[in-house]
Amino acid sequence: MLFMATNRRKTGSGFGDEPQAGHKFSYLYDYNNQPRGHDAFRETGKRGLETAFLQELKRLKCEQAIAKPKVGIYLHGYNNDYQESIDEIFDLERSLSPILGYAPIIVGFSWPSSGGVINLSVGPRTSP
């Protein structure tokens, strides 16, 4: 099962490459499993994501008898757009499923990272 969190600004049908105002995040779940470019998460909200996540853990334990379900966290690198983030967590889930014998839980985080020069502050510099 796939989940996504992002601090990208919402656009018409997805998320852009600018951060949301006020350091806000969107929490997405209920992946529609459509072909690439048409795939998306149908639901948003922190409480809903938390509930769906816990229900999936319970389902894996009770229905599939998996004592310790695997949960992966995916954080993309520089110069990825939002759709690429969805594609990556989808591919990761599909690659791991045959190895594990079940679809693991993958939580992705997509941050504004496409193109342009960014200012990454690493904190104060100190001399040796």
**Burial readout 55-69 (b: 16 or more C-beta within 10 A, e: otherwise):** ebbeebeeeeebeeb
Which residues are bridge partners to 118 per DSSP?
A: none
Please report whether residue 78 resides in a domain. Answer: yes
User: Could you give the 3-state DSSP secondary structure of residue 115?
Assistant: coil
Please report whether residue 43 resides in a domain. Answer: yes
Please report whether residue 118 resides in a domain. Answer: no
Tell me the residue range of the domain where 98 lies.
Answer: 2-110
Please report whether residue 123 resides in a domain. Answer: no
Please report whether residue 21 resides in a domain. Answer: yes
- What local confidence, expressed as pLDDT, does residue 97 receive? 96
For 85, left (φ over 0), alpha (ψ -120 to 50), or beta?
A: alpha
Instruction: Please tell me the total count of domains within the chain.
Output: 1
pLDDT single digits (tens) 24-58: 999 999 999 999 888 889 999 999 999 999 999 99
Please report whether residue 71 resides in a domain. Answer: yes
Whether residue 89 contacts residue 105, with contact meaning beta carbons closer than 8 Å, is answered with no
Q: pTM value?
A: 0.83
- What local confidence, expressed as pLDDT, does residue 38 receive? 87
pLDDT single digits (tens) 100-113: 999 999 999 999 98
pLDDT single digits (tens) 63-74: 999 999 999 999
